[in-house]
Amino acid sequence: MKHCFNPEEHLLGSTVIGERGQVVIPKEFREKLGLEAGARLVVMQHGDGPLCLVKADQMKDFMKAMYEKMNSALGE
């Protein structure tokens, strides 16, 4: 599988953690992903790696599909 970097498809931004631990997602990201106030995100990290924010509904769909594929692979 060939991967190409297209700068028009990737955004780079920065944010600051506020005194209460809140993080503002830059407007460009919110618009691209259709995130609005109240959107639920899953926060993940593995070891000392980067933090990852995923839309909760997309993570739920991904986990359901993986569960079904695992059951199929195991013959269950």
State residue 12's pLDDT score: 79
State residue 2's pLDDT score: 64
Radius of gyration (Cα) for the chain, nearest Å? 16
Q: Locate 14 and state its tokens.
A: 């920065």
Q: What is the pLDDT of residues 44-67, one digit of tens each?
A: 999 999 989 999 999 999 999 999
**Whole-prediction pTM:** 0.68
Q: Locate 19 and state its tokens.
A: 């005194």
Mean pLDDT of the chain: 89
β-bridge mates for residue 10, sequence order = none
Distance of CA 22 to the CA centre of its chain: 17
State residue 13's pLDDT score: 84
Cα distance between residue 39 and residue 11, in whole Å: 20
